[in-house]
A and B are shown apart, each in its own frame.
Chain A
Amino acid sequence: MTEKPPKKEKIPRQPMPEQDSQIRKRNFEEVPLGYTKELAVKEAERCLQCKKPSCMEGCPVSIDIPGFIKSIKKGDFAKAVRKIWERNALPAVCGRVCPQEIQCEGKCILGKKGDPVAIGNLEKFVADMEREHGNGELPPKSDPTGKRVAVVGSGPSGLTVAGDLILKGHEVTIFEAFHKPGGVLVYGIPEFRLPKEIVYSEVNTLEKLGVKVECNTVVGKTVSLDELFEQGYDAIYVGVGAGLPRFLDIPGENLIGIYSANEYLTRANLMKAYLFPEYDTPLARGKDVVVFGAGNVAMDSARTAMRLGADRVRIVYRRSRDEMPARSAEIHHAEEEGIEFFLLTAPTRFLGDKNARLTDVECLRMKLGEPDESGRRRPIPIEGSEFKLECDLAVIAVGAGANPLLTKSTEDLKINKWGYIVADPETGKTIKKGVWAGGDIVTGQATVILAMGAGRKASDSIHQYLAWGW
């Protein structure tokens, strides 16, 4: 009888070292500290290198995940990041903000019986290694084509399109309405989740490749799409995001101390109001904060309020925990930092003092009924269950709609009933010749990686058009 070889000891998923929750809840430093080389290699060793990798199916931009993990395992981090670059120009961003648990990691075979490979953490690791220690070698560029492309909006989809097309030899100019590039990566996602220095470094790489970035340009106001064509652009990509805040439409919403999440986060992140008065933009520092909504933006708002010195921060959400749309890591981080959750609760009106400053919000308890069109169980108010929450700051994070500024000035772009641009889901082509659109302005508010996926498809289509015509 032969003896069975000893079973190889299973390596557990390597936890990401993090700032202690009680310390980090009062600072704006990044929460995850990052893998060490040793941790990264150890985690990479867990990958089974599947022949038919289902993780890739879960990735909206089809990164060769086993491929880059194999390079990490061998300690060749430079090669690993270049493998990712073939499909994704912004790995330092995606490693931090992608909802991996419903994408790549959600499909990882190891996840069936245990914990999936920490693909997001590994992606972040190689991107950070490259930024901090890389040789700065840029990917090769094709010969100049003489074609010019205008990219409207410098968020994730715009940056993806710009990165793809510059490598294919086209001239690319990005137009950004704000005074800094990055779109939602800069105005929306907080420093503690995505340091702005990383976004600027990614934009800087594009500039080194030859992409021009024109800030302070509101396309639709400063210049129209047709004028861009007159200026000699051959193709235009519109990726302006879903920049129109939704409010709750309940009484008292214009009291002082009530912010849309867009305003609250833009003041904090883009304008650096958390450094007031060193920076000039002010922001209310609430002691008793209520945030409405349960997506990533709500978590970001709640955690920002905690960092700005709040005694209590409560998330109010009309459905239950199972329906919360935020990444699980963000919910977990928020809980660790002491954010409280008032689930199955909906606001009905805001109350203020004689100076119109917010003092309370009145809420109703809800129960779950039958599933609605989104497949989630519909919340139903419980009559007579009104109660008040004391608060001096409220942030409304219940989503964003389509900003009409550009579409209003471009009559021959087709928009749907919600104001989003109608574009071919496979190519991003709009009905206006030479114009593509993608990201939130087409799909409505979604994730960074989906916007990048749309950008990738559009850039392929734009490249084809520049070579062969419409």
Chain B
Amino acid sequence: MFEILERQDMADGTVVLNEISAPLIAEKAEPGQFVILKANETGERIPLTMADTDPNKGTITIIYQIVGKSTALFKSLQVGERFQDVIGPLGEPTHIEKLGTVVCVGGGTGVAVLHPITRGMKEIGNHVIAIIGARNKDLLILEDKMKAASNELHVCTDDGSYGHHGFVTDVLKDVLEEEDVKLVVAIGPVPMMKFVCSVTEKYKVKTFVSLNPIMVDGTGMCGCCRVSVGGKTRFACIDGPEFDGHEVDFDELMQRLQAYKEQESVAYEKFLHE
């Protein structure tokens, strides 16, 4: 189990795609749910929201950015090698329903998670406008797939090397001005989700975000992934990972993501050195 059947470098090697054999999870998983992966005996448990599943093949797909030792270790695994442990599907699935016009906003590797949600939203009969962004053209992922999954696709780069020169929020504002948007789904780096929510709040458009706090077990047992939503503490692993973005305390989430910054760089340096 958990053999890597396909592996692909993306975004200039900063992002990796793995298609992993996990039939039990593939059969059960729905868009928006996540898995926890552990590469080997000494490895850390890393939560990643699934980018795709294929119940017929019995596979799940994850797409992750290399940010530290654990993801670098994942990257080193080749086709035919295995993750020691994969646990899932965890978390609540995205509530996909027919609403009218839905905007899906993605940044960085968040686009990977957004893709099955976008596809689901379109399949159920929504008019889906997708807006995806990256720092530059080379770091952009899944443009073709997002094009196919949506009715309209807008691409933005921070440096203007491709598509709209600017942030996803610029395009989002224009769309919100022109269209009767019923729902926005925003998945990406925390600052991006925070800015998207401050824009949609002005337009009073309901916005879902998918949160990625640090986790250990992913089953509600430890409380590591606690986030403040509407002034209440919620566990992203069992209550989320999706929440009403207008209620999320993004600043707290950003701070909590820094909890192990020092240890993370020690581990990564050591890994690169070895």
Contacts and interface: CB of A to CB of B under 8 A. Distances in A.
Nearest to B257: A256
B139 to A, nearest CB: 26
B259 interface: yes
A280 B219 contact: no
A218 B266 contact: no
Interface string B249-274: 00010011011100110110010000
A263 B258 contact: no
Interface residues of A, number: 39
Interface in A197-240: 215-218, 221-223
A253 B25 CA distance: 34
A422 to B, nearest CB: 20
B238 A280 contact: no
A319 B159 CA distance: 61
Contacts of A282: 260, 263-264, 267
A272 B263 CA distance: 14
Contacts of A179: 38, 45, 84-85, 87
A355 B44 contact: no
Nearest to B259: A256
A356 B253 CA distance: 11
Interface in A328-369: 355-356
A284 B222 CA distance: 15
Contacts of B166: none
- Provide the main secondary structure of the chain A interface: loop
Interface string A282-299: 101000000000000000
A146 interface: no
A277 B238 contact: no
Given A222-B25, A254-B256, A271 B263 contact: no
A262 B222 contact: yes
Contact of A271 (B44, B86, B255): B44
Given A254-B252, A276-B263, A221 B216 contact: no
A280 B42 contact: yes
B228 interface: yes
A403 B233 contact: no
A121 interface: no
Contacts, number: 110
B42 A262 contact: no
B122 interface: no
B37 to A, nearest CB: 10
A359 to B, nearest CB: 14
B70 interface: yes
A263 B264 CA distance: 18
Interface in B190-222: 216-217, 219-222
B24 interface: yes
A404 interface: yes
A36 interface: no
B90 interface: yes
B255 A356 contact: yes
Given A218-B90, A276-B267, A263 B223 contact: yes
A276 B266 CA distance: 10
Interface residues of B, number: 41
A128 to B, nearest CB: 26
Given A247-B233, A254-B256, A276-B263, A403 B28 contact: no
Interface string A241-278: 00111010000011011011011001100011000111
A243 B219 contact: yes
A321 to B, nearest CB: 28
A281 interface: yes
Contacts of B90: 218, 221
A276 B42 CA distance: 9
A177 B24 contact: no
B66 to A, nearest CB: 15
B210 to A, nearest CB: 17
A263 B69 contact: no
B220 A405 contact: yes
Given A218-B88, A276-B263, A247 B220 contact: no
A355 B220 contact: no
A392 B238 CA distance: 28
A418 interface: no
A284 B266 CA distance: 13
Interface string B86-115: 111110000000000000000000000000
B224 interface: yes
A215 B256 contact: no
Given A257-B259, A278-B42, 6 more contacts: A221-B89, A254-B256, A260-B222, A260-B223, A271-B45, A405-B238
Interface of B: 24-25, 28, 38, 42-45, 69-70, 73, 84-90, 216-217, 219-224, 226, 228, 233, 238, 252, 255-256, 258-260, 263-264, 266-267, 270
Interface of A: 177-179, 215-218, 221-223, 243-245, 247, 253-254, 256-257, 259-260, 262-263, 266-267, 271-272, 276-282, 284, 355-356, 403-405
7 nearest A-B pairs in the assembled complex, by CB-CB distance: A282-B263, A263-B222, A280-B44, A356-B255, A243-B221, A179-B85, A260-B223
12 contacts: A218-B219, A222-B28, A222-B87, A222-B88, A223-B24, A247-B226, A260-B223, A262-B222, A277-B263, A278-B42, A281-B45, A282-B263
